[in-house]
Every structure is written in structure tokens, then in C-alpha cells.
Amino acid sequence: MSDSTSTTSPISEFPSDSDELTFDLDLGFDGAEDILRSWRKGMRPDPDLTVSEWADEHRWLSSRGAAEPGRYRTARAPYLREIMDALSPRHPAQRVTFMKAAQVGATEAGNNWIGFVIHHAPGPMLAVLPSLELAKRTSRGRLDPLISDSPALRERVNPARSRDAGNSMLSKEFPGGILVLTGANSATGLRSMPARYIFLDEVDAYPASADEEGDPVTLAEARTTTFSHRRKVFMVSTPTIRGLSRIEREFEASDQRRYFVPCPHCGEMQWLQFERLRWDKGRPDTAAYHCEGCEKPIAEHHKTQMLESGEWRATTISADPHSIGFHISALYSPLGWKSWQQIAREWLAAQGSEEMLRVARNTLLGETWVESGDAPEWQRLAERREIYGGAQIPVGGLFLTAGVDVQKDRIEVDVWAWGRGLESWLVDHIVIAGGPDDPACWDKLTALLGRTWTCANGAVMLIGKLAIDTGYEAPAVYAWARKQGFDQVAPIKGLEGFNRATPVSGPTFVDATIGGKRLRRGARLWSVATATFKTETYRFLRLERPSDEDRALGVLDAPGTVHLPDWIDSEWLKQLVAEQLVTLRNKRGYAHPEWQKMRERNEALDTRVYARAAAWIMGADRWDEATWRRLEAQAGVETRSAQQTSAVAESTTPAPPKAGTPTTPRRKRRAYTPNFMRD
């Protein structure tokens, strides 16, 4: 009895160098061989493959969704190898960003990762597409062929034949894990499950908020919190507009890897840039890439060898050592996909159309589009800073306004001097610490109303009008403004949009809560179309300055020129150009321009807009020549040359009446005198 029931332990018979396990004893019942076969299969460790190795061994491309059906070959697009391998479990990267041109194989790389997870590294996985509808189309057109055409996946994911199969359009169950597809517009889908793996495809097409619950990328990444260092987030997209592009923001926060390829002539390693793709005028068929080392033209048939010998190189240091980023343009597209001649042809066809140029820059170069109306670079403004000399207000500044931005922990004030033609000079930048809940903070702001600034000839000026934003802690702003009086202080409210008859309207009387008591019509509020003044400010900032030779000949700065002092720092300059004008489309497809922030802080731009609104409220846009002359007399300066003055005098001389025009003289209007100029 004991002889018939005793067996040799399978563990003791496990061969270390053999692919097959053998047993000396037949168990003597039906199905024993099946049990042993399953046991042997379970004991054998999976091969240690990377994602690219798995794809080369197990992935088959279907004719339903691939231009080149058959076995997948990473060698066809060698630049994808390192990107896919970074998604392997043994790679230390946790966040992988891929900013790319259209149709370079990025989505297939993501699908390879999905197949690898199902086969070799099971766990909960979330794939996010821009919308639920696109998620369904992706499931039918890409994932179903991925599973059905790859035997290794087909045996792990049950066919969708019943409700209990675990394989639906938006959910694929497999041993050890589940793949859920959702849209970035569905907050429910983004917070439905914890996930070890997150695949974020075309993130620049995501809505700004998922069902008004927050940024879709942030909501999705929150699903990986419990997986700590084992998580993987793969973010892929063609970029869109600078400042709004999520993928550009993530790429710039990474180590910014570029694919360096060797020149076939001199061996110089370089990453391909569109500026070096050149062709004869009007002949895109002559397009060739010129090496930055030897300047020799590179024919496109060399591209295959160049891609095979290429390597990714980081061009900066990432703040997060677990975050890496890759960028590639259509110039790297393998032979047979998109040629350099096609790129040149499409670029030429886009000339003359801003919309087509935007598409070409996004899809061909894999770079963001800079909208017209964009601010100049802050570095150029830094180079144009001026030394005012001993005076706080340079010659030409005839009156002062201030713009005030109220923040939670501080109040920021910029004081601007204004001259003819709305030429302006920044004369002071003040940060009052404390915030609106600190009485001492308001006392310091009150003291500014009585402070004076010195002109070049020794005259002094007060702030003519101070415009203060009511967007934060409006009751506190109203209370302070009522206490100071509305002659020198103007509470304002910013309004979005360009379709306003006037950039500033009002004042209107609004109810205010002062000291816990509601006052009907307790505050006078001005409404400001901030978009209009932002557009004007950036137009003024882009004005060219006269050269030294032109100045020697008496050429003056153009009307609207913005002068910045040498003491202003780079942070303030970055805040001044922190926004850009972008074109957005609503749900019905209609386009409308809108100012969007490119960086978090923009107080310098806001205070500039408020100070400009204060100048408008004072009437600077409507003053006549006599008013400007009185301002010059008060400042003790003359800002126009004699020739310009005589030209103005000639222009004010009435011309003889023409035939067909009424000759009855109109009553002369009395010249307007601003309050701060009255005795």
C-alpha cells in the first residue's frame, strides 16, 4: 500500500538546466498528464523580455488597422525601442512623456505596452482617450485586432460572447489584471479604479476639465497613488498651442531627450531640425537635409542607416529623476512613411494660411504653435531695459497712474508714468506684505496715495488715479476705496472678451458689504475689458526702437512705446509676458480668441492693465492738445519738437469750406481739465 501511494517529490526532481520536467512514476489516472503539463508550465518562469522584445516576438499587425500588416518589427522605427523599453517593469522611469509629430508609430508603441502588460506584467491598467466615443472606436479598431491577431493575448482574454466573459468594449479582463478604457471627458471613468499602469493618449485633445471635476490628467494619475514606485504613466500627444499644450509642459519638465543620428558623410551626431531641411525655391522635390557639421546635403536613402545608428540623448536635467521625455518630428519618419519631399511640399502648401501653418507645425514638426498676438520673449525685454538717471520719472512722463492687484498674502502695486501718445514708463514696483485681512497692509496702500515721485527737472507728482482689482476680497476693497474717496481711487472688475464697444465702462453703483453692513449702491465700480488692454500692451511691447543714429537726427520713440527700468528683475518680466492670445473653438465649432496664461504668475501684466485702465478713466485717450500742453507746463517740459509743434498748429488751422459742406460754425466746447490738474 505504501509502495503504491508514495511518490517522489516533484520539487526534488526539478531540473535546473532543462526546459522540460520529467517524472519516473505514472500516477495512473485519467488527466494526470494534463495536471503535470499545467504544473510544468506554471513552474517555468516567463522569459525576461522588454516591451520591444515582446512586440518583436508576439505582436502581429492586422490589415484592419495597419498600413504594413504582418509581424511587428521594432527595427522599422528604431527610435521607438528605447521609449517602449522605458515602459518595462525593470526600467526605473515612472513617467514617460512622448511629444511627437503625427503618424510616427507612438500609438502602436502604446498598444505594444498594453499587450506586454496582459502577457507578462499583469495588473490594473487604465487607458484614457480624449472622449468616450473615441475610446469605443479605439477598442473596436485597435485593441480587438491586437488581441485577436496575437496568439499570446488571444488565450488570455476571453472572447466577448456573453455578459460574463469579462471582455466588453471598454473593459478587458485577463489573468491577474484588467484593462479599462475611458474618455477624458468622463470623471466617473477617471476615478473608477486604482491603476498601476496609465496610458494617456493624445492628451492635448483632452478637455480642460472632466465633468467640471478637474484636470483629466491629474484625476487619472491620482489612480496610481497606492502603487508608489511600481507605477508607470505613459503620456503621448501631438502638441497644439504653446502655453496650453499639456504634452509640451510635461516634456519641458522632463530630461528632454532628442534622437541623435550620424551624418553619413562626416559622422557628426545631431538631432534633425526643420531649419536644416532645404530645397530649391518652388521645388520641394529637391529637399535634402544639410549636416550641421560638414554642411553637405544628405539624401533621404541614407535615413534607414542613420536611424539604425541613432541614440537618444538627454538635453537637460529633469527635476524628477523618475520622469523622462522624448521628442521626435516627422523628419525621422522611416522610408515609405513620410518623405522629406512630402514634408517640404506640405510646408509650402501651408504658407499664407495661419490655420494650415498651425497644423503643419503641430503634425510635421511635433512643436507647439505660437499664436499671433503673442507677447515678446522676456529676454528681449531684458535687453531693452533703460537707465532713467537720477530722476524717478524720465522726461516725457506727464502724469502717474497705479495698478493694484490684491492677493491672499500680499498686495502688488506698479506705478506707471504716461506721456503723449500713451508712451509709458514703469517708475515703481511695490509689494505690500500682509494681504487684505491685515489693516496695516491697507494703511501702507493709503500712504502711497500721498507719496510723490520726482521728475527730471525736480518737479514732483502724485498718483493721478489708482485702479484696484475687486476680484479677490471685494468687500475689503470696497471698504478701503470708500474711505479714500473715488476721485483718486477706482475699483475695477475685469471682463473677458473683445466684443465690447469700449474697453472701460462705468462707473456703476453696486451694493457693498462694509463692516458686516450691506450698503445699497455702496461702491462705484468700473468694468474693464482686460483682453483689449492686453492686446494693446503686447503690441506696444513689440514696437521697434530708433537706432542711435536715428536718435541723433531727432527721431523720437513711437507712440505707445513701453520703457522699462534697469532695476526690474527677470521674474517681473516673465510675469509681464505670462499670457498669450489663442484661438479656441466651442462645441459648435465656432472660433473665438482668448487670453490664456502660459505660467502661473501674471501679476505684472495685470497691474499694467489696471494702470492703463486708470489712464483711460482719467481721460488720457480723449484729451485735446490744450490739455497735453497744460500737463507739459506743470511738468516743466516740452515733449514735442518745434517742427512737430508747427505741424500741429498748421493742422489746427481751419481749412476753407468745401462745396456741399455746412458753414454754420458750431459752438466751441470747453476744454476738459482733469481733477488732479484743477486748483
| Cα–Cα distances in angstroms (integers) from residue 623 to residues 420, 506, 610, 629, in the given order | 10, 18, 19, 10
| CA 450 – CA 489 distance, rounded (Å) | 12
Taking residues 39-61, what's their average pLDDT? 80
Q: Which residues contact 530 (CB under 8 A, 6 or more apart)?
A: 494, 495, 496, 595, 606, 609
pLDDT at 2: 39
pLDDT at 358: 85
Model confidence at 26, in pLDDT bands (50, 70, 90)? Answer: low
**Which of 352-356, 427-431, 599-603 is predicted with the least confidence, judged by mean pLDDT?**
352-356
- Greater confidence (405 vs 663) lies with 405
Cell of 340: 522629406
pLDDT digits (tens, 9 = 90+) for 468-520: 998 888 888 888 988 888 889 999 998 877 655 678 888 887 867 666 566 76
Give percent of the chain above pLDDT 70. 82
In which element (H, E) is residue 453 found? strand 453-454
pLDDT digits (tens, 9 = 90+) for 231-271: 999 999 999 887 778 899 899 999 999 999 999 999 999 99
CA angle 283, 289, 295 (to 5 degrees): 115
Q: Which residues contact 629 (CB under 8 A, 6 or more apart)?
A: none
pTM over 0.85: no
> With 50 as the cut, is the pLDDT of residue 281 above it?
yes
pLDDT digits (tens, 9 = 90+) for 298-329: 999 999 999 999 999 999 998 889 999 999 99
For the chain, the C-alpha Rg in angstroms (whole number) is 34
> With 50 as the cut, is the pLDDT of residue 14 above it?
no
| Cα–Cα distances in angstroms (integers) from residue 441 to residues 73, 79, 450, in the given order | 67, 57, 15
pLDDT digits (tens, 9 = 90+) for 62-97: 877 677 888 899 999 999 999 999 999 999 999 999
Model confidence at 581, in pLDDT bands (50, 70, 90)? Answer: confident
Cell of 169: 468594449
Give Cα 218 to chain centroid, integer Å: 15
> With 90 as the cut, is the pLDDT of residue 290 above it?
yes
- Pick from 309, 194, 322, 314: which is nearest to 257 by CA? 314
> With 70 as the cut, is the pLDDT of residue 135 above it?
yes
- Greater confidence (432 vs 516) lies with 432
Taking residues 607-631, what's their average pLDDT? 90
> With 60 as the cut, is the pLDDT of residue 183 above it?
yes
- With helix as H, strand as E and coil as C, how does 203-242 read? HHHCCCCCCCCCCHHHHHHHHHHHHHHHCEEEEEECCCEC
Taking residues 115-120, what's their average pLDDT? 93
- Pick from 370, 347, 381, 396: which is nearest to 559 by CA? 396
> With 80 as the cut, is the pLDDT of residue 670 above it?
no
> With 60 as the cut, is the pLDDT of residue 25 above it?
no
Taking residues 21-28, what's their average pLDDT? 52
pLDDT at 266: 94
pLDDT at 255: 94
pLDDT at 9: 38
pLDDT at 311: 96
- With helix as H, strand as E and coil as C, how does 498-564 read? CCCCCCEEEEEEEEEEECCEEEEEEEEEEEEEHHHHHHHHHHHHCCCCCCHHHHHCCCCCCCCCEEC
Model confidence at 653, in pLDDT bands (50, 70, 90)? Answer: very low
Query: Mean pLDDT score of the chain, rounded to an integer?
Result: 82
